[in-house]
């Protein structure tokens, strides 16, 4: 095949790969070739992160949303889904529980809840929440609130938020409009890049299995690299009931595993999640074997909170907990990093990000 070994050798020497070479890697379609790509990815992960893995607690505190993304269970038009909005105490209790269980970071996520978006000073309570979370749990905080106004992004930053997660899903603008209907492609990209300039670490993310081409993925990976996204993820699309994509054929995890490995090859120093929100605990081993180094979507079974693409999978059973993922790490000769190691990585990355970004702003 097109010199797979040659390209993998080049990647391991950290020589930048061309668009054509990345496209070639994304054309791998056999388990044995995927195995080769994943082995090279593990070697590069080892070079930058040794056997350390970071653990992210997930707090999905409101499932109300003003948007109508066609792929999402929580889209506003889905009237059949009973939603919730947790109050301050409930959110703090869930976060405390996750911090006590050993997570390194708290990912505070919500739909674009009209209560916060449409009300004057609607975000004040959430800004206060971030301050309280930082003070009490001493954990870095990621916010995933959607495309908040720039002024609110500044307030969250001042309150101590470290990360801003806002996934484009695709950088193919036509496909984007089919997924994130009536949402501006440019505004979403600009908010992310502005957050980076404000000193946030940013997470960019892709959906796979929504009709994107290999070329779309290759372009996205190069864009993620050049925008200096600090964490880069891919999630397999999970069709949701009562949504336009409900009848969409289920996707295998092969492409997600391949994309995770190729991400590691071209961005060896970044954080790459293995989300428990796609195939649950049973999907973790393969994602780690592909070069992921963060386990996300750890959810306290008692908090009464949901996942996103898998709203209930493995939550009640307590399978999305630190206790259940540690043995999987051990079985893969990996271990959870210390809080100090995670804080040190964040600090080094923030210092690096303070230097002027390379290359133009890809938000046209």
Contacts with ligand MD0, residue ranges (CB under 6 A): 58, 107, 109, 144, 165, 273, 275, 277, 296-297, 307-308
Binder of residue 75, out of ligand MD0, ligand SF4, ligand SAM, none (CB less than 5 to 8 A by kind): ligand SF4
- Strand pairing partners for 201? 163
Q: Using CB positions, name the residue nearest to ligand SAM.
A: 309
Among 24, 57, 140, 146, binds ligand SAM (CB under 6 A): 146
Considering only CA atoms, which of 110, 62, 66, 107 is closest in space to residue 86? 62
Phi, psi at 137, each rounded to 5°: -95, -15
**Residue 258: which residues within 8 A CB-CB, separation 6 or more?**
25, 26, 28, 34, 37, 290
With contact defined as beta carbons under 8 Å apart, do 102 and 305 qualify?
no
> Per-residue x/- marks for ligand SAM, 149-188, CB under 6 A?
-----------------xx-x-------------------
Considering only CA atoms, which of 173, 130, 133 is closest in space to residue 152? 130
With contact defined as beta carbons under 8 Å apart, do 203 and 167 qualify?
yes
Considering only CA atoms, which of 78, 46, 353 is closest in space to residue 241? 78
75 CB-side CA count, 13 A: 21
Nearer to ligand SAM, 12 or 68 (CB): 68
CB of 38 to ligand SAM, least distance (A): 22
Nearer to ligand SAM, 24 or 111 (CB): 111
CB of 113 to ligand SF4, least distance (A): 9
Among 75, 86, 171, 349, binds ligand SF4 (CB under 6 A): 75
Please report which residue ranges of the chain form alpha helices under DSSP H: 4-12, 19-25, 31-49, 88-101, 114-117, 124-137, 150-158, 173-179, 185-197, 214-226, 254-266, 276-279, 284-289, 322-331, 339-354
Nearer to ligand SAM, 109 or 321 (CB): 109
> Per-residue x/- marks for ligand SF4, 132-161, CB under 6 A?
--------------x---------------
Binder of residue 237, out of ligand SAM, ligand MD0, ligand SF4, none (CB less than 5 to 8 A by kind): ligand SAM
Distance CA 285, CA 307 (A): 19
Considering only CA atoms, which of 279, 274, 258 is closest in space to residue 334? 274
Considering only CA atoms, which of 191, 202, 206 is closest in space to residue 231? 202
Considering only CA atoms, which of 5, 19, 54 is closest in space to residue 223? 19
> Per-residue x/- marks for ligand SAM, 249-288, CB under 6 A?
----------------------------------------
Phi, psi at 183, each rounded to 5°: -115, 135
Among 95, 234, 238, 325, binds ligand SAM (CB under 6 A): 238
Tell me which stretch binds ligand SF4 (CB under 6 A): 61-69, 100-108, 188-196, 247-255.
61-69
> Per-residue x/- marks for ligand SAM, 198-217, CB under 6 A?
-------x-x----------
Distance CA 237, CA 240 (A): 9
Nearer to ligand SAM, 195 or 337 (CB): 195
CB of 64 to ligand SF4, least distance (A): 9
Distance CA 49, CA 33 (A): 24
Tell me which stretch binds ligand SAM (CB under 6 A): 18-26, 76-84, 107-115, 134-142.
107-115
Binding site for ligand SF4 (CB under 6 A): 65, 67, 69, 72, 74-75, 111-112, 146
Binding site for ligand SAM (CB under 6 A): 71-72, 109, 111-112, 144, 146, 166-167, 169, 205, 207, 235, 237-238, 240, 308-309
């Amino acid at each position: 095949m097109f010199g797979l070994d040659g390209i993998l050798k080049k990647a391991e020497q950290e020589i930048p790969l061309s668009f054509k070479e990345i496209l070639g890697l994304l054309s791998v379609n056999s388990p044995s070739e995927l195995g080769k790509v994943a082995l090279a990815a593990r070697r590069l992960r080892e070079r930058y992160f040794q056997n350390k893995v970071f653990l992210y607690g997930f707090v999905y505190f409101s499932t109300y949303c003003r948007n109508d993304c066609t792929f999402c269970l929580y889209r506003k038009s889905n009237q059949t889904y009973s939603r919730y909005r947790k109050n301050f105490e409930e959110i703090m209790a869930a976060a405390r529980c996750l911090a006590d269980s050993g997570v390194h970071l708290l990912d505070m996520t919500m739909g674009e809840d009209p209560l916060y978006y449409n009300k004057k000073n609607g975000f004040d309570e959430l800004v206060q929440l971030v301050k309280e979370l930082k003070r009490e749990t001493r954990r870095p905080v990621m916010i995933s609130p959607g495309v908040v106004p720039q002024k609110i992004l500044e307030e969250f930053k001042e309150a101590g938020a470290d990360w801003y997660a806002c996934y484009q899903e695709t950088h193919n603008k036509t496909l984007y409009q089919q997924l994130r209907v009536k949402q501006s492609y440019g505004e979403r990209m600009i908010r992310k890049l502005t957050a980076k300039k404000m000193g946030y670490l940013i997470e960019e993310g892709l959906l796979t299995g929504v009709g994107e081409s290999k070329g779309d993925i290759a372009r996205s990976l190069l864009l993620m690299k050049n925008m200096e996204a600090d964490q880069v993820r891919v999630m397999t699309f999970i069709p949701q009931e009562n949504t336009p994509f409900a009848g969409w054929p289920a996707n295998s995890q092969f492409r997600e595993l391949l994309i995770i490995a190729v991400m590691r090859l071209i961005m060896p120093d970044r954080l790459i999640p293995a989300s428990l929100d796609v195939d649950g605990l049973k999907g973790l081993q393969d994602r780690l074997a592909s070069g992921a180094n963060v386990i996300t979507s750890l959810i306290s079974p008692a908090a009464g909170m949901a996942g996103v693409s898998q709203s209930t999978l493995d939550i009640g059973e307590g399978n999305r907990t630190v206790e259940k993922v540690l043995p999987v790490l051990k079985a893969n000769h990996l271990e959870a990093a210390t809080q100090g190691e995670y804080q040190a990585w964040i600090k080094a990355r923030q210092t690096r990000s303070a230097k002027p970004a390379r290359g133009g702003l890809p938000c046209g």
